[in-house]
Amino acid sequence: MLLQQNVLQKFVPCNKQPNTWTQVFGIFTVSLAAVTSAVHFSWTSPAIPILISNSTHLETIMTLEEASYLTVIPPVASAVSSPIMAILIDLFGRKPLLMFMAVPHLLAWILIITAENTYIFYLSRFLSGIADAVIFNAGAAYIGEIAIPSVRGSWGNLLAIGIYFGQLLVNIIGAYYSIRTTAYIFISLPIIYLLLMLLLPETPYFLLTKKQEGKARESLRILRWTNNVEDEFVSLTKDVKRQVSESGTFKDIFTIPTNRKALLLSIAIRGAQQLSGFPAFAVYTQFMFQQAGGDISASMSAIIYSAILCVLISTTAFFVDRFGRKPLMTFSSFACGVVLLIEASYFCVDQHHIMDTADFKWMPLAGMLAYTVVFSSGLGIMPTLMLSELFSASIKSKALCVIHISFSIYILTISKLFQVLTSNFGLYVPFYLFSFCCFLSTIFSYLCVPETKGKTLEEIQQSLK
């Protein structure tokens, strides 16, 4: 850790007053991993229209049914590998596992570059799913354990921003370059991420659970950028001892009331986000706009949609602590329900020729832009932020594993359901379904979502009792 501190001191000298810049740098680096994961996840948005068209470089053109499995394989791989990652995160630590995730990402891009048939693409998607299991298990844990509440509230949303920024990047690059050229461009991201990760320490929480007090103290010095950390170290040691007094098994997630409540809340909060239709919109962005029609091309509509979403998420992320988690989740869920209901009604009228919609061809893009506004105000950022806030150190990796498995199930179900419903009934049917789910999420958010604004891990745990 002395190496990390010596390298970082070349940029910002260490002094007696605590500084938060290393915590922000750590969150930024982990968020870069989220960018690479999001690029892989949303890669199907520009890729599927190419793969099912005559412009593909494959031996045979993919059918939409075959291409739909490109959206399903990553969450399946992620769900299968998540329990393994939960074990490894406690065995080897948060940092080594986060560094490892660059490997499957690199291999996935290499396979896309060399792919000549459908099955190589499937293998690439499987590897990207393994990397997703790492970022969603270890990434949230790392951020939650290195950052003080004020930093976590202001900068913890960089992880969510990274996801939306990656979605924007792949829609822009994928719209103007071939599948192989896009892969050549994005293969640099995991390499840059790996080099930055080398500069960061392991979390003091994890080191204390392994009884490595000296390394934990040094980690805290780097993360607070001061040598005066004794008071916080004593308090942190006390907190960790209390938390690890629990056995920390998968059984404890369900048998200890506070853990069980936090788990159910987390699964429901993540479900509220995913059931708004976002994963389907992310992987089928260009295809969706192709089906909807409109005055603007599908690729440009996808870029505008992704750009507005990224900008809004980046803007609203820094106002979370001003309004709180609960009010924003409630408002966002209700507003998304209204917007999706209007969109669904338009698609229904247009498909069944109930009236002439020639003067309303701007509706698909305008409606999705309205969706980005209200989605980004709460549903877009709250679930990712709150995952790092609800669990104690002893149980966090196991809980995040279970949550990520449910998250993967949400993604594969919603993505496949969107394709099936759209192909068999029309675009309006999944939009009506997502709208209904958003209204249910409004009730849940108002009645059940806890307020974690400005609270430490200890205070949040006490509020769940």
Q: Is 13 exposed, middle or buried (0-12, 13-18, 19+ CB in 10 A)?
A: exposed
Q: In this structure, are residues 54 and 377 in contact, taking their beta carbons and an 8 Å threshold? A: no
pLDDT score at 51:
87
pLDDT score at 18:
66
Interhelix angle 158-176/179-186, rounded to 10 degrees, is: 140
pTM (predicted TM-score): 0.79
* Fold (topology level) of 18-200+246-463: Growth Hormone; Chain: A; (1.20.1250)
Residue 307 or 238, more confident:
307
Please say if the pLDDT value at position 75 is more than 70.
yes
For residues 379-407, average pLDDT: 76
125 confidence band (pLDDT: 50, 70, 90): very high
CB within 8 Å of 95: residues ≥ 6 apart: 142, 197, 200, 201, 202, 203
Lowest mean pLDDT among 136-150, 255-269, 381-395, 416-430: 381-395
Q: In which region does residue 60 sit, left (phi positive, over 0), alpha (psi from -120 to 50) or beta (all else)?
A: beta
pLDDT score at 345:
92
The full set of domain ranges for the chain reads 18-200+246-463, 205-244
CB within 8 Å of 263: residues ≥ 6 apart: 253, 254, 399, 402, 403
For residues 221-226, average pLDDT: 83
> Per the structure block, which two tokens stand in for 87?
């074990």
Q: In this structure, are residues 254 and 367 in contact, taking their beta carbons and an 8 Å threshold? A: no
Lowest mean pLDDT among 75-84, 427-436, 443-452: 443-452
Q: In this structure, are residues 384 and 407 in contact, taking their beta carbons and an 8 Å threshold? A: no
| Size of the chain in residues | 465
pLDDT score at 333:
94
The amino acid that residue 418 corresponds to is F
The amino acid that residue 304 corresponds to is I
In this predicted model, what pLDDT tens digit does every residue of 11-62 receive, in sequence order?
565 665 667 788 889 999 999 999 999 999 889 888 888 888 866 667 677 8
341 confidence band (pLDDT: 50, 70, 90): very high
Please say if the pLDDT value at position 443 is more than 70.
yes
3-state SS, one letter per residue, for the chain: CHHHHHHHHCCCCCCCCCCCHHHHHHHHHHHHHHHHHHHHHHCHHHHHHHHCCCCCCCCCCCCHHHHHHHHHHHHHHHHHHHHHHHHHHHHHCHHHHHHHCHHHHHHHHHHHHHCCCHHHHHHHHHHHHHHHHHHHHHHHHHHHHHCCHHHHHHHCCHHHHHHHHHHHHHHHHHHHCCHHHHHHHHCHHHHHHHHHHCCCCCCHHHHHHCCCHHHHHHHHHHHHCCCCCHHHHHHHHHHHHHHHCCCCCHHHHHHCHHHHHHHHHHHHHHHHHHCCCHHHHHHCHHHHHHHHCCCCCHHHHHHHHHHHHHHHHHHHHHHHHHHCHHHHHHHHHHHHHHHHHHHHHHHHHHHCCCCCCHHHCCHHHHHHHHHHHHHHCCCCCHHHHHHCCCCCCCCHHHHHHHHHHHHHHHHHHHHHHHHHHHHHCCCHHHHHHHHHHHHHHHHHHHHHCCCCCCCCHHHHHHHCC
pLDDT score at 11:
58
Please say if the pLDDT value at position 398 is more than 90.
no
Q: In this structure, are residues 401 and 140 in contact, taking their beta carbons and an 8 Å threshold? A: no
In this predicted model, what pLDDT tens digit does every residue of 230-274 receive, in sequence order?
777 888 888 777 766 656 677 778 888 888 888 888 899 999 999
In this predicted model, what pLDDT tens digit does every residue of 351-390 receive, in sequence order?
888 887 777 788 888 888 899 888 888 888 778 777 666 7
Lowest mean pLDDT among 54-68, 98-112, 422-436: 54-68
pLDDT score at 447:
87
Report d(CA 30, CA 147) in Å as an integer: 12
Report d(CA 310, CA 328) in Å as an integer: 18
